[in-house]
Amino acid sequence: MNNFEYQNPVKIIFGKGEINKLGENIPEGAKILLTYGGGSIFKNGVYDQVKASVKGFDMIEFGGIEPNPHYETLMKAVEIVKNENITFLLSVGGGSVLDGTKFIAAAACFQKGDPWQILSRQSPVLDAVPIGAVLTLPATGSEMNGNAVVTRVETTEKLSFASQKVMPVFSILDPEVIFSLPDTQVANGIVDAFIHVIEQYLTYPVNSPIQDRFAESILTTLVEEGPKVMANRTDYEAAANFMWSATMALNGLIAVGVPQDWATHMIGHELTAYHGIDHARTLAIVLPGVMHINRVQKKDKILQLGKRVWGITEGNADERIDKTIQKTKEFFESVGIPTKLPDYGVSTDTIDKICTRFKKRGFKIGEKANLGPDEIRLILEDRL
Ligand code: NZQ
Ligand code: ZN
């Protein structure tokens, strides 16, 4: 196992009806900016619960944060934070609202020029406005980590940053919020969480049985509970298990002391940047290609995934690797997520653009930094 440091300060408030604890967790006298997305919170009762709990606080609202939040929109909120002397940001929504709020929190305190540099140059975040979150979509793990992904429409770039400073002070996770999610978003959540685990697990062995078994327990829970949530949105127990799986998938715990990949995410972000494809769907497209091209490098862990998660024990190593890739693809397809580029109308032009972009960046990706533009082309061509 590799050396590591781990600190996760996010307070999780989990369960039915817990949104009513919101007010008591916000610092007294705070001036709040409530951030939200396209309005789902008004239809499913979440906004009313939030409003009831924050009674007495001075609060302004900022809506319209898009899925794959736009830098251009977020900068409008940064102005409000500065002009109105906001001291607390309250994110009510899915990963996009929360990621966007993290960027607002950092950008409002950024002293060294254009805050875009936080994303484009990884300029350090020295300070940020504190954030509280009410999560409405289990998927990203953003509620218990310091990551954020932001899209700049003007340049078709989708970039991320990470900082302890933007970890929420608290996140409220009421599984009942998912009752109003459409099938597409539940499927996205299952697949995004599944692939977060894969990015931290499917690398090479470093003798880390705790991390491996934690990872496998999250994967098997998603495989068991995901379809229950798809079939019956108001199955509270399944909703709760799904929600906690998504948080555990990306709160840093299973990443400690082990190598991490993230190539699937980095390539997937380009598909969203150019085609607006939902984040999770881009991952479902790319992952089988990454597994295929890295079948030698990842051999031990692919076999372990096959055996422990999919129950594949028959055949020689090569056959078992093929079966494991196949089973993984079938799982995504079983929740209604196609895994080929043409399913999304994407052709070779986009592959060319993505490879040119990676060439310009000049660095290779993956746990062994072995994937450059040529390998990325093979991965994407595998998905045609
Ligand atoms: O905008 P509203 O009206 O709220 O509707 C949203 C949105 O249209 C809707 N929705 C959310 N909760 C709902 C609901 N509809 C009905 N009932 C509810 N309870 O769902 C749609 C999608 O929401 P979004 O927030 O975009 O989805 P998700 O949570 O999957 O977030 C995706 C974003 O997170 C980033 C992705 O790149 C993408 O930009 N990620 C962030 C990560 C992180 N911070 O650690 C890691 C991930 O890998 C991911 O990259
Ligand atoms: Zn993701």
* pLDDT tens for each residue of 285-313: 999 999 999 999 999 999 999 999 999 99
Tell me the CATH class for 11-176.
alpha beta
Mutate to test the pocket of ligand 1, among 140, 181, 278, 281 (most ligand atoms within 8 A of CB): 140
Chain-wide mean pLDDT for the chain?
97
Q: What's residue 341's pLDDT?
A: 97
Tell me the CATH class for 183-381.
mainly alpha
> Can you give the residue ranges of every domain in the chain?
11-176, 183-381
Listed in order, strand segments (DSSP E) in the chain are 11-14, 31-35, 58-62, 88-93, 131-135, 147-152, 157-162, 170-173
Taking the C-alpha atoms of residue 144 and residue 146, their distance in angstroms, rounded to an integer, is: 7
What atom of ligand 1 comes closest to residue 37's alpha carbon? 1
Q: Alpha carbon of 379 to those of 225, 296, 370, 372: distances in Å?
A: 30, 15, 12, 11
What atom of ligand 1 comes closest to residue 41's alpha carbon? 4
Taking the C-alpha atoms of residue 41 and residue 64, their distance in angstroms, rounded to an integer, is: 12
Mutate to test the pocket of ligand 1, among 185, 186, 251, 337 (most ligand atoms within 8 A of CB): 185
pLDDT in tens, 210-251: 999 999 999 999 999 999 999 999 999 999 999 999 999 999
What atom of ligand 1 comes closest to residue 44's alpha carbon? 17
The pocket of ion ligand 2, defined by CB under 5 A, consists of 192
Return the amino acid letter for 297.
Q
Q: What's residue 200's pLDDT?
A: 98
Check if the beta carbon of residue 282 is closer than 8 Å to that of residue 300.
Answer: no
Q: What's residue 182's pLDDT?
A: 97
Q: What's residue 313's pLDDT?
A: 97
DSSP 3-state of 190: helix
Average pLDDT over residues 360-372: 96
pTM surpassing 0.95?
yes
